[in-house]
Amino acid sequence: MADPQNKIIVGLAGKIASGKETVGKYLVEKMDGKKIKFSDPLRQILDILDLPDSRQNMQTLSTVVRQNFGGNVLAQAMMKLVARLENKLVVIDGVRRVTDIENFRQLKNFFLVYIDASSKKRFERCVQRKENPGDGEMTRGEFDRKDNAEAEEQIESLKKEADFVVKNDGTMEELYLEIENLLEKIHATQN
């Protein structure tokens, strides 16, 4: 296992369809990193149980797992996954709670990045990308209910915990410029 202290670890937080996937993909490609998601263990459990990996099922499973095994159980799983990776950069997508980052905050090279986007823009993206079953047909009311589910309710509080906030209401070019600025700031901390 590789020591997490020797890696740059970027945790991505943001509401549904804020752009975490795009930011993570850009960082991984730019720095030859690896991306893991807080939802990966949940998706694996749902697969084993032969249940759809819908947003609703993942939110329900997340709540059940945290309530029964502790609020930071998924964070502990992420820490183990990070330690197993050999990549110099690891992006952790889907940070949802302060407890998700408590263990990572002990690492000198951990950075929490909050991706911020308007509710209107996020709804449009969610319907267009169709990441989970039913997203393409989702109404605004359904989106708002999912956006305010228990598994999502603490995300916005992470904005004040973030080392960096990336605004993502504009074009892709504007987002890429924001990410480049973020990378410069991260690299500056390494020197």
> pLDDT at position 1, please?
60
Which positions of the chain have pLDDT values less than 70? 1-5, 150-151, 191
> pLDDT at position 15, please?
93
> pLDDT at position 118, please?
93
> pLDDT at position 191, please?
66
Element (H, E) at 189: helix 172-190
User: Cβ neighbours of residue 111 under 8 Å, at least 6 residues apart?
Assistant: 8, 9, 10, 11, 163, 164, 186, 189
Q: Which of 9, 15, 3 is nearest to 112 (CA)?
A: 9
> pLDDT at position 4, please?
64
Residue range 88-136, pLDDT digits in tens: 999 999 898 898 898 899 888 999 999 999 999 999 988 888 777 777 8
Crossing angle, helix 73-84 and helix 39-48, to 10 degrees? 100
Q: In 16-147, which residue ranges form alpha helices assigned H by DSSP?
A: 20-31, 39-48, 55-69, 73-84, 98-101, 119-129, 140-147
> pLDDT at position 96, please?
87
> pLDDT at position 128, please?
86
